[in-house]
Structure 1
Amino acid sequence: MAEDGAVTVYNNSVITDAKKNPFSLKAGLTQMLRGGAIVEVTNAEQAKIAEEAGACCLIVSEPIHQGISRMPDPSLIKEIKRTVSIPIMARARVGHFVEAQILEAIGIDYIDESEALALADEGNFINKHNFRCPFVCGCQNLGESLSRIREGAAMIRIQGDLSGSGNVSKTVKNVRAVMGEIRILNNMDEDEVFAFSKNIRAPYDLVAQTKQMGRLPVVQFASGGIVTPADAALMMQLGCDGVFVASEIFDGSDPYKRVRGIIQAVRHYNDPHVLVETSSGLEDSMAGMNLSEDMIEQFAHGGV
């Protein structure tokens, strides 16, 4: 009877063999998204708009609701997969390897092990090497990002604000933190790298690889509060490979224009003339994505 237990199923049957799913292949699949925008959608209509606007990938999520936030309904993912031809990403709760198994089984292209959802396991992340599907994980500093890569993350999402307030300042802070730590690492002597890796609680081999490459070993996107073309271009100029755009971008009038503007800003982030064009005429449609007066007051008094 012991052979029929849950541990046996987990070890031998459900999770795929890590040797058959090399990390280099999954990292290569995420490289295909470089220089693009990943747009969050909650229905097939938004998915069509994002695809037509030029999104490199869609991340499917449930409409905002009260209670525990979990992975999206598989039927919603299947509907959107039938609607568009670009890659699809979906979120699983941190540590919830069964949600990841379900997402992989329905043919998802990328899985985001996301802290934006409720935590399933506070102490353990998913062993991402055991899946065919490339994983995306969030971080706020270099040590955290390299730890997620050691677990098998093939893309890093430098995460800022999760509230959907349109405040990009936390994202800028975290992107600068990661890039600043990499610059410090690049200027170190080889003998200092051991102590540095210990201080940031990251695997030495990945720290040494980051120093050699002068950047993270995998693709790095920015996420949180990116609602204008200028926000997107700022992330790219700070050193990111692309951006995540939340579903709030579809609120209000003419969502296609907003999504298209951000995507064009990502592609032409160093061309001020393109940025002028993509930023023009968005004042009315951005009105619903600004910080409220209560939140501005809260930030002014040191609130989060």
Structure 2
Amino acid sequence: IDESEVLTVADEEAHVDKRKFKVPFVCGAYDLGQALRRINEGAAMIRTKGEAGTGNIVEAVRHIKLTKRQISELSRMADDELEKKALEYNVPVELVRETAKLQRLPVVWFAAGGIAGPADSALVMQLGVDGVFVGSGIFKSTDPPRMARAIVEATRHYDDPEAVLEACKNLPQPMKGIDIKTLKETEKLQIRDV
């Protein structure tokens, strides 16, 4: 289940207690504090909250880099500093300690929002996520099956430049991108569900 920021928020103060469900939840997070709060609520997967439907990957990249930087900072902290971070993030200190020890999120982490082609997919994989969510980037292209295959190949072989190049050849026309700078704050999906 995707506890999605794309949907209208029904409760602005509380998120679904995901531990009561037998199916896994994926939740959006644009920084480490959000990710750890969702994990503490029972999320099995975390995804970036890039600007969905735009074909503009900049926000997803920003969220990945910020979260990785925050995890790196945790890994250098003494235990008393980790306790302070746990209070700041409003999560159990054990979760903060585990994240610091692993030097990554303790659940699978996906990039989502703005991924419009194989190069985008390879980029976010190289930045350190475990996989990608793609919707509009496939279905708004002129040949969705071909675009999907190209994105899958680039994701699978993200660390092989020749394979990524091959995936980028003879692509269908991609989705028409939207410059997120032209969106009003109320139109941005990534800021919902904070």
Question: What letter is aligned with 1:151?
Answer: E
- The residue type paired with residue 6 of structure 2 is A
CA distance in 2, matches of 1:214, 1:296: 31
- Output one character per residue of 1:1-31: Cα deviation in whole Å (capped at 9) or x when no partner: xxxxxxxxxxxxxxxxxxxxxxxxxxxxxxx
Counterpart in the other structure of 2:58: 169
SS at match of 1:137: strand
Q: Which of the numbers 96, 108, 120 marks the counterpart of 2:10?
A: 120
Q: Relative contact order (C-alpha < 8 Å, sep 6+): which is higher?
A: 2
How far does residue 191 in structure 1 lie from its aligned partner after superposition? 2.5
Asked if the contact 2:54–2:180 (Cα under 8 Å) also holds between the matched residues in 1, the reply is no
The one-letter code sitting in structure 2 at the alignment partner of 1:290 is G
CA distance in 1, matches of 2:5, 2:27: 8
Matched, 1:289 2:173: no
Find the partner of 1:186 among 75, 81, 93: 75
Q: Percent identity?
A: 45
Distance 1:185 1:297, change over 3 A: closer
Structure 2 residue aligned with 1:298 = 182
User: Contact 2:110/2:131 (CA < 8 Å) preserved in 1?
Assistant: yes
Rg larger in structure: 1
Question: Which one-letter code corresponds to 1:214 in the other structure?
Answer: Q
- The answer (yes or no) to whether the contact 1:248–1:289 under 8 Å persists in 2 is no
Q: Is the 2:51–2:60 contact (alpha carbons within 8 Å) kept by the matching residues of 1?
A: yes
Instruction: Report if the CA contact (8 A) 2:30-2:64 is conserved.
Output: yes
CA contact (8 A) 1:233 1:265 kept: yes
Which residue of the partner structure matches residue 27 of structure 2?
A: 137
Structure 1 unaligned blocks of 5 or more = 1-110
Where does residue 96 of structure 2 map in the other structure?
207
Whether 1:250 aligns to 2:134 is: no
Report the count of equivalent residues. Answer: 185
- TM-score, normalised to structure 2, is 0.88
Distance in structure 1 (CA, Å) of the matches to 2:65 and 2:141: 31
Shift in CA distance, 245/207, structure 1 to aligned 2, threshold 3 Å: same
Displacement of 1:290 = 2.2
Query: How large is the Cα RMSD of the aligned pairs?
Result: 1.9
CA distance in 1, matches of 2:78, 2:25: 32
Query: Corresponding residue for 2:116?
Result: 227
Answering whether residue 42 of structure 2 is matched by residue 158 of structure 1, we say no
- Higher strand content, 1 or 2: 1
Superposed displacement of residue 202, structure 1: 3.0
Distance 1:248 1:228 in 2: 6
Can you list the C-alpha shifts for 1:247-284, whole angstroms capped at 9, x where unaligned? 342234322111111111111000000111111122x5
Displacement of 1:197 in angstroms is 2.0
Q: CA deviation at 1:143?
A: 0.7
**Is 1:262 paired with 2:122?**
no
Contact 1:140–1:159 (Cα < 8 Å) also in 2? yes
1:25-44 → structure 2 map (5 Å cutoff): none
Q: Secondary structure at the match of 1:122?
A: coil
SS of 1:159's equivalent? coil
- Change over 3 Å in CA distance of 1:173–1:297 after alignment to 2: closer
In structure 2, C-alpha distance between the alignment counterparts of 1:297 and 1:120, rounded to whole Å: 27
**Displacement of 1:204:** 1.3
Q: Does 1:274 align with 2:163?
A: yes
Structure 2 stretches lacking a partner, 5+ long: 189-194
Q: Secondary structure at the match of 1:226?
A: coil
Aligned residue in 2 for 1:74 = none
Deviation sequence 1:184-215 (CA, Å, 0-9, x none)? 11111222211222233332111011011111
User: 2:8, 2:19 → 1: CA distance?
Assistant: 22
Superimposed CA distance per residue, residues 203-254 of structure 1 (whole angstroms, 9 cap, x where no aligned partner): 2111011011111110000100001111101111111000000134223432
